[in-house]
Every structure is written in structure tokens, then in C-alpha cells.
Amino acid sequence: MIENPTGLQRLIGWMMLSAVLLSVAAGLGWLPGFYSGGLAWCCGLLLFGRVGGFLRLQVLCIFSIGCAALWWGLDGRELPWAKLLATNQILIAMLIAVSFLRLVTALRADPQEQLPMGRGALWRTLLGVHLFGAVINMSTLQIVGERLSRRQPLTPQQGVLLSRGFALASLWSPFFVAMGVALTHADGAQLETLSLAGLPAAAVALLVAGIGLSRHPGVTSQAGYPIHFEALWLPLLLAVLVFGARGLWPEVPVLSWVSLLSLLLCLLVLVLRSGTQRLASMRRHVEAQLPTMGGELALFLAAGVLTVGLAQVVERSGFDWPLQQFGPWQAWGLLWMILVAAVMGIHPLISIATSGGILAPQVQDPNLLGMTFLMGWAVGIIASPVSGTHLTLQARFGLSAFGFPRWNFGFVLQLMLICLLALHGYDWFSAG
């Protein structure tokens, strides 16, 4: 969070919130999507100077490739400005809106509370990071990591626990940006199907991760986080509201419901807890927290340019992927490609956007493709040395980001086998 935001940063924060509201209006059919996208682009350009390191280089490369693809694909035709502005605006709105949930989700423990120890604490922390991370995303890593490292530095084992528990939530959570990406690039996939199919895979993967971590010789002296699961009532209520709204108004994109209900529920809970005085925390979040999301914003904007550019290339070239069928084995092959790209430093978002643009028109079952994208996101986060998760753990707690691929190597192979079984299980169940 920015301690003393400047006037420009405050303005950008309110512009980002306005982009969310315009995106919701577009989802309800009241406005075109390019209004929200245009505002997001303004914020992205104003914040790009704050994006540094490898992420800045990656964004520039993605944007350059997208522009080159547009130039070749259009072949002198008019630039599709509206499409460029509107692409990924609904994902950006969801990313911003869900960040407000950290204001009302009671994850923080009493600083005086004794940290639990041993295998029981490990399992409780693993499950807690998974469930709370499924809703408030990256904030979970920061809150839990800061508490665990208060008296002694975070150990690699604790870092791996956070990495695995958090990343596996992308297999099913409707509030994880991975779900939005999967629904966007696997056109026709259904939220209910993807969540229900991803939950068993996540449960088995968590079990395998916990068993592996509990065998570490120092686990009995390892501290865990005192997570209180009664605080999960709010995330569960939000999930029920999203699925209920989706059932009543199926014509409205589910990501628009996630954005709208996240904001409304946050506002309602803050008012009910202590009146309008607590609304000051919402204002601080807008002005001091939203402007720190420049990196994520730039990545999604650049990916939108790449998506539109690749679509123009495919249209001009008449490229037709020689795909006879897309079943579990083909999906697993695609998953390996996403994994290898992630290890090389290519963000899963780029792999998904690229493969989705090529494969989505030919795949008969978009849910199978969407499952593959969710799995690719989870595996990519765990295996990549430059994922946002590992870079955060490095920057905040001093763990080597390039150590995580080595520490997670065996688990990644196990996760790939779990994904293969889940893909075959879904194929068998849907065929029956």
C-alpha cells in the first residue's frame, strides 16, 4: 500500500474504480465495453512508470508482438479500436473489484495469539491459505507470511506451503483471475462446470501436497498460522450470491456479477459493522492500494493487444490447426506446453491467450479447454521462477524465487498426473 499517495495516484485509484463500474454497466448491456477499457488504458499508461524488473520487460515484449501481429494481420485495414479497448476489460474489472474483499474478510489473527506448531498446524495453514486465497488472492500470502516471519525468517518449507496452497485455488475459485481468463479464452465454458470439475482435483492435490510437506524432518518444530475458519462465512455467502445471480440472469457475464457483488457486499458489510465510519478504509483502498496494481494492469492490457493481434493474423492467413479431436490426452499435451513456457518465464496468461485464440474455434467441448487453462495457470504459478506468487515471496520475505522450481519439482510432476486423471474423469463423466 502507498503510505502517502499523491494527488495523481488518488485520481488513478478513482479512475480504476470507475472502470469497474463502467465494466459492470457493459455487462448489464447498458454501455459498450470500450468505455471501461479506455479508462483502464489511461490508468495503465499513467502507472506503467512504476512497473519494473522482469515484468516490465515481459509487458513490453508482449505489447510489441501484439502490435506486430496487428500490423501484419490487418494488412492496411482499419484498426479495430473498440475491440482493442474492450478486450480484457472485464478481467481487469474483476481483478480490481475482488481486491476490495480483503477489507471485510477476517483473516488477520491476534498478534498476541500463539502460533500453532507441528503437523496439525501445517494442515490447517495449508487449507486456510487455499480457502482464503481463493477469495482475497495475493493478500493471503502477505498476511500469513508476515505473521509467520515476525520472530524468525520464513523458511523454504513455509514458502512452499504458501505457494502450493495458494496456487491450487486457481483450479476452481470463481474469484481467482484464472477463472476469468479461462472463461474468456475458452468461449462457451461454464463457471459451474469448471468449478465443480476443479474442486476434486484441488482436493487431491492439497492432500498430496500436505502429505509431502508433513514428511519433512523439521515439521514438528515448524510454526503454522492460526486461521479461524468461522471467518469463511462471508466468502461462502458471496459464492452463493454469484451462482444465484448467474442462475437468475444468465445473459449477464458471470465476471460482471463477481465484480458487482464483490463491491456491493464489501460496502454493505463495512456499513453494518460500524456505520459509515468504516467507509474510510474503502476510500484508503481506492487511493492507496489500487494504484499499486500497475503491474497486473499492464500485463492484462498487453495481453489484450496480443489476443486481438493473433486473431487478425489467423483471419488473414486462414490458418487452420490440424486438430482432429481435442480430448484428455490432447489437453494434457497442451498443459505440458503451458508448463514448459512457464518454466521459461512466459506467464500462463500469454500461453492461454495464444492457444485459446487458435484452438477455441475448433474445440467441441469448451469446458475441457477451460479446465486445461485453469490447470495450466495452477501448474505455471507453482513451476515458474518469475510468477507473481514467487516474486512476492522473494521481495517480501527474502526467499529465492529461482529456488521454488527446484523445491516444487516433484510436486509439479505429481500435479500433472492428478490433472491427467481429472481430465479423463471429466471426459468419462461428460460422455456418460
DSSP string, 4-34: S--HHHHHHHHHHHHHHHHHHHHHTTSS-TH
Which cell numbers in the block locate residue 202? 484441488
Q: Which of 68-72, 204-208, 310-314 has the lowest mean pLDDT?
A: 310-314
**β-bridge partners, 117:** 223
Owner of C-alpha cell 484428455: 328
* pLDDT-derived band at 73, boundaries 50, 70, 90: confident
What CA–CA distance (Å, rounded) separates 182 from 54? 24
Contact criterion met (CB below 8 Å) for 369 and 186: yes
Contact criterion met (CB below 8 Å) for 59 and 302: yes
Full 3-state SS string of 139-186: HHHHHHHHHHCCCCCCCHHHHHHHHHHHHHHHHCCCCCHHHHHHHHHC
Exposure on the CB side of residue 420, measured as CA atoms within 13 A: 11
What pLDDT is attached to residue 400?
Answer: 86
Amino acid at position 176, single letter = F
Q: Could you tell me the pTM of the whole model?
A: 0.82
Owner of C-alpha cell 478481467: 91
What pLDDT is attached to residue 12?
Answer: 94
Contact criterion met (CB below 8 Å) for 102 and 135: no
What CA–CA distance (Å, rounded) separates 415 from 347? 18
Helices (H), 249-387: 254-274, 279-284, 294-317, 328-343, 348-359, 366-383
What CA–CA distance (Å, rounded) separates 260 from 242? 9
Q: What is the pLDDT of residues 114-139, one digit of tens each?
A: 666 778 888 988 988 898 888 777 77
- SS3 assignment, position 398: coil
**β-bridge partners, 223:** 117
What CA–CA distance (Å, rounded) separates 309 from 162? 36
Q: What is the pLDDT of residues 360-406, one digit of tens each?
A: 878 889 999 999 999 999 999 999 987 878 888 887 788 888 899 99
Q: What is the mean pLDDT of residues 177-188?
A: 88
What CA–CA distance (Å, rounded) separates 164 from 157? 11
